[in-house]
Amino acid sequence: MVHGRWFGFDGRHAHTGPRHARPSSISELLARPQKRTWQAFTTGLGIFTMLAVCGLSSFFIVADERQGRDAQASGAAPPVTVLRDISSREADPAPLTAAEVFAVGEVVVDPARPAYRVLKTQADRNCAAAASGEIGTLLTDLGCDQVVRGTLRAPSGGYLVTAGIFNLDDVAGATWAREQIKSMVDGERGRFQGMPAGKGTEAIALSSAHVGWHARGHYLLYCVTARADGRPIPPADAEAARILTDMLDLYLNGTVVERRAVVSTP
């Protein structure tokens, strides 16, 4: 709704005096035919304008219909978005690959910002390789049969990231894992493992790293973030929070899993 003032009549008449006052002069009598002529002219002009608008509208309608017939005749059709079922591995059986999750040597989450540089990728059938303690046991019990992960350097250069996707049996298991993992992390009974990618990346494997996780379909997504210098990350670190959002929400969920969940066909 557009807000603004409403302008209208206030109920008062626009003229005063007797409603049927007689003409007071010859000039007034002479003015009457001119007035009628002007009224006739304006009325005719209004009718002409209305007909012109109607004719123009008809033209656009005919043109649109013709374009629709031409598109049908040429076989062209707009793309159709189809939602795929990713609620279970039975419905979505194709395994993940490192090339699918990390197709190129960099990850772009925003064209206006520098990219994340991919240092190392890995696809492993042993899910416990990427999660230790009770988390690893939980994922195995929930039917996890693979994990695809990669280690990246953040655009700032001062942060390292390991991000990946666990392939679970179904959406119920992924949702259950998402809910149970927090107490395990808080109680230090398990953790997601950062993956070192050569000299200078050892800090990603430290226990002081920040972690985040998210579930979609039968997938559990996770991200481990650490400072490259090994120093602890403060709780209110804005850069670390942005990295988690970039990796979990925008990339793994919004790009990688989205490609599995939504398919556009011509």
Q: What percent of the chain has pLDDT over 90?
A: 64
The 10s digit of each residue's pLDDT in 78-98 is: 778 889 999 999 999 999 999
Q: Is the pLDDT of residue 239 over 70?
A: yes
What's the one-letter identity of residue 251?
Answer: Y
Q: What percent of the chain has pLDDT over 70?
A: 70
What does the alpha-carbon distance between residue 214 and residue 184 come to, in Å, rounded to a whole number? 15
- Dihedral sign computed on CA atoms, order 113, 117, 122, 127: negative
pLDDT at res. 266: 66
pLDDT at res. 170: 98
264 or 24, which is more confident?
264
DSSP 88: B
pLDDT band with cut points at 50, 70 and 90 for residue 3: very low
Q: Is the pLDDT of residue 212 over 90?
A: yes
Q: Is the pLDDT of residue 52 over 90?
A: no
Q: Which helix (DSSP H) or strand (DSSP E) does residue 75 occupy?
A: none
CB proximity list for 146: less than 8 A, separation 6 or greater: 95, 96, 123, 124, 125, 127, 166, 167
108 or 51, which is more confident?
108
Q: Is the pLDDT of residue 26 over 60?
A: no
Query: Per-residue pLDDT averaged across 32-48, rounded?
Result: 46
What does the alpha-carbon distance between residue 77 and residue 58 come to, in Å, rounded to a whole number? 25
Between strands 116-124 and 106-107, the pairing is antiparallel
* Average predicted confidence (pLDDT) for the chain: 79
Query: Do the Cβ atoms of 220 and 176 come closer than 8 Å?
Result: no
Query: Per-residue pLDDT averaged across 198-203, rounded?
Result: 94
pLDDT at res. 75: 61
Q: Is the pLDDT of residue 172 over 90?
A: yes
Q: Which of 85, 81, 87, 95 is nearest to 218 (CA)?
A: 87
pLDDT at res. 130: 97
Best-predicted range by mean pLDDT (55-59, 154-158, 193-197): 193-197
pLDDT at res. 201: 95
Query: Per-residue pLDDT averaged across 97-124, rounded?
Result: 95
Query: Per-residue pLDDT averaged across 3-19, rounded?
Result: 33
Q: Which helix (DSSP H) or strand (DSSP E) does residue 168 occupy?
A: none
In the β-sheet with 106-107, what is the strand arrangement from edge to edge? 106-107, 116-124, 146-153, 159-167, 219-227, 210-216
Min mean pLDDT across 11-25, 75-89, 133-147, 214-228 is at: 11-25
The 10s digit of each residue's pLDDT in 222-231 is: 999 999 999 9
